[in-house]
Amino acid sequence: MDFEPKEEQRQLADALRRWIERDYGFAARRDIIHSPAGESPEAWRMLVELGLTALPVPEAQGGFGGGAADMFFVMQELGRGLVAEPYFATVLGARVLQLAGGQEELLERVAAGEVKLACALGEAQSRHDLADIAAKVSGPVDAAAVSGVKTVVEGGGQADMLIVSARSHGGQRDRDGISLLLVDAGTSGLVIRDGRAIDGRRCAGVTFDHAPATLLGDPGTAWPVLEAATDWGAALLCAEAVGAMDALFGATLDYLKTRRQFGVPIGSFQALQHRMADMFIHLEQARSMAMLAAAKADSGDAEERRRVVSAARVRVGEAARFVGQQAVQLHGGMGITDELPAAHWFKRLTAIGLTLGDVDHHLRRFAGQPGFRVA
């Protein structure tokens, strides 16, 4: 077993970290997330140049054919650096395209950084259940259209193409009858309401009204692809959360060593030492599970994948909550200021906890796997 990054993985992570330190520091990021566009073309160009958009794309489409384990080290750095560009939305979309098949040309353009994607999967009533879909597919296979309202679409206002889940047949929460479709963001029948999310990223509400769409795969059969792709994405979010927690933990530890009250560094108070020790234990347990999830997220064994990804989301989610809240608390008044990076890692961790399934959702799914009942 080897938990260390391979040489290429390390080099890529180092290059990414150097760029973030040089060009995507806290002040630069603040300007970007408060700008009207909410994203930076230069930052995107750099992510492309570093090869990040090509990383998860198969070699046949001009990518590097990287797996979730390769993505682990990238996502960790993006979490550490709080990079708010719509990268995750794009690679999650690329994962859908790859698993669904038939969009090789588009994947090539994604790898080249020419196209941004977003996944419009959630609806107002669905919360964390991505099979709860009211949006509908209409029209024949070669001239499909989609209608419905999708909420909280990360990067929805920045994307060139949207991947939409909609129902071809079946009841609202059936897994049978779900289709995935590709919609051009510039097409008719589409209204996108772009806004800022609580973590500084962009998210949109998107209304589809007979929007022309291309079916990905056979109508009504998309659930396994949707589930596998979002599990892969959920594993990536675990890696990002670990990067953010790692940085937040480090910043808090530094603060405990430098902030003085009652004539001593506050880190000399045993109550705070034990709190830090608990944060450390949370972080290490989370790191282990995030690694395991990355190792299994591409797995062909769907039950094993579900089990491990859900376990990781639970463990990482609990750690993120504890580490995030305590980091704010230990910073005292400083912890509640927007000018301190700590607050932003906390906000990003909170947002990750609400994306692609919260702790309870994954606890339920973990306990619901057939293998769970084998005594």
Ligand X SMILES: Cc1cc2nc3c(=O)[nH]c(=O)nc-3n(C[C@H](O)[C@H](O)[C@H](O)COP(=O)(O)OP(=O)(O)OC[C@H]3O[C@@H](n4cnc5c(N)ncnc54)[C@H](O)[C@@H]3O)c2cc1C
Can you give the binding site for ligand X, defined by CB under 6 A? 259, 261-262, 266, 269, 271-272, 329-330, 332-333, 336
Query: With contact defined as beta carbons under 8 Å apart, do 80 and 244 qualify?
Result: yes
CA–CA gap between residue 330 and residue 328 (Å, rounded): 6
Q: What is the DSSP letter of 148?
A: E
CA–CA gap between residue 50 and residue 64 (Å, rounded): 12
Q: Give Cα separations from 298 to 19, 71, 294, 302 (angstroms).
A: 28, 11, 8, 9
Per CB under 8 A, 127 contacts other proteins: yes
CA–CA gap between residue 82 and residue 21 (Å, rounded): 11
28 binds, among other proteins, ligand X, none (CB under 5 to 8 A by kind): none
Per CB under 8 A, 368 contacts other proteins: no
Q: Which is nearer to other proteins, 9 or 207 (CB)?
A: 207
Query: With contact defined as beta carbons under 8 Å apart, do 149 and 180 qualify?
Result: no
Give the type of residue at 23. D
Q: Which is nearer to other proteins, 9 or 325 (CB)?
A: 325
Per CB under 8 A, 27 contacts other proteins: no
104 binds, among ligand X, other proteins, none (CB under 5 to 8 A by kind): none
CA–CA gap between residue 303 and residue 171 (Å, rounded): 24
33 binds, among other proteins, ligand X, none (CB under 5 to 8 A by kind): none
Count of residues that bind other proteins according to CB under 8 A: 51
Q: Which is nearer to other proteins, 43 or 328 (CB)?
A: 328
Q: Give Cα separations from 238 to 138, 157, 185, 192, 222 (angstroms).
A: 36, 24, 29, 28, 24
Q: Which is nearer to ligand X, 78 or 266 (CB)?
A: 266
Bridge partner residues of 164 (DSSP):
120, 181
CA–CA gap between residue 283 and residue 287 (Å, rounded): 6
Single out the segment in contact with other proteins by CB under 8 A; choices: 41-49, 87-95, 160-168, 326-334: 326-334
CA–CA gap between residue 360 and residue 98 (Å, rounded): 29
| Three-class DSSP category at 207 | strand
Per CB under 8 A, 3 contacts other proteins: no
Q: Which is nearer to ligand X, 214 or 268 (CB)?
A: 268
Per CB under 8 A, 172 contacts other proteins: yes
149 binds, among other proteins, ligand X, none (CB under 5 to 8 A by kind): other proteins
Q: Which is nearer to other proteins, 275 or 287 (CB)?
A: 275
Residue 164, classified by CB atoms within 10 Å of its CB into exposed (0-12), middle (13-18) or buried (19+), is: buried
* Six token digits for residue 113: 């950084």
Among 13, 197, 239, 319, binds other proteins (CB under 8 A): 197
Give the type of residue at 245. M
In the shown chain, the binding pattern of residues 229 to 268 toward other proteins, with x for contact by CB under 8 A and - for none, equals -------------------------------xxxx--x--
CA–CA gap between residue 244 and residue 9 (Å, rounded): 19
Q: Which is nearer to other proteins, 290 or 343 (CB)?
A: 343
Least Å distance, CB 4 to other proteins, is 35
| Chain contacts with other proteins (rule: CB under 8 A) | 122, 124-125, 127-129, 132, 149, 151-152, 172-173, 193, 195-199, 203, 205, 260-263, 266, 269, 271-272, 321, 325, 328-329, 332-333, 335-339, 343-344, 346-347, 350-351, 354-355, 358, 360, 363-364
